Amino acid sequence: MSQPIADIQGKTILITGGAQGIGGATAQLCAERGARVIIADIKTAGEAHAAAIRANGGDAVFHQIDVRVADQVEALFANVAESHGGLDVLICAAGVLQGQYLQPEEFPLEVFERVMDINVKGTFLCT
């Protein structure tokens, strides 16, 4: 394994989109390096991922939220402040890629709005 670029032992790290993919791998790596990991994802698979991390000796919890919904994001951060005393690191990994093979004139407005809501608005609300 390569040398870590930062010591995250004991740090509280919130990862949006942490149920799978890049966010899931990031959650696992952070837990392996001793961080307290909070997985926030719309997918309930985040609970199983957090359980797997705990089964391997890591510290992980799951919160099901939709990063597009301000009230849910605010409630999550309030919970993190109360339960964990605050946050050391935020990793915004929630995101989608849709319509990448379409020509601009074929791209449905609904797809554009969903991508922007999750990838941009979700990150904005979390930060």
Residues 31-84: pLDDT tens digits? 999 999 999 999 999 999 999 999 999 999 999 999 999 999 999 999 999 999
Burial of residue 88 (number of CB atoms within 10 Å: 0-12, 13-18, 19+): middle
**C-alpha separations of 107 from 95, 100, 102, 110 in Å:** 18, 9, 6, 9
Fold of 12-94: Rossmann fold (3.40.50)
The answer to whether the predicted template modeling score (pTM) of the entire model surpasses 0.75 is: yes
Q: Give the residues across from 37 on adjacent strands.
A: 13, 60
* Residue 100: predicted pLDDT: 81
**DSSP annotation string for 95-115:** -----TTS-GGG--HHHHHHH
| Residue of 51, 53, 45 whose CA lies nearest to 17 | 45
pLDDT tier, 101 (very low <50, low <70, confident <90, very high otherwise): confident
Question: Looking at residues 110-120, what average pLDDT do you find?
Answer: 94
pLDDT at residue 1 above 60? no
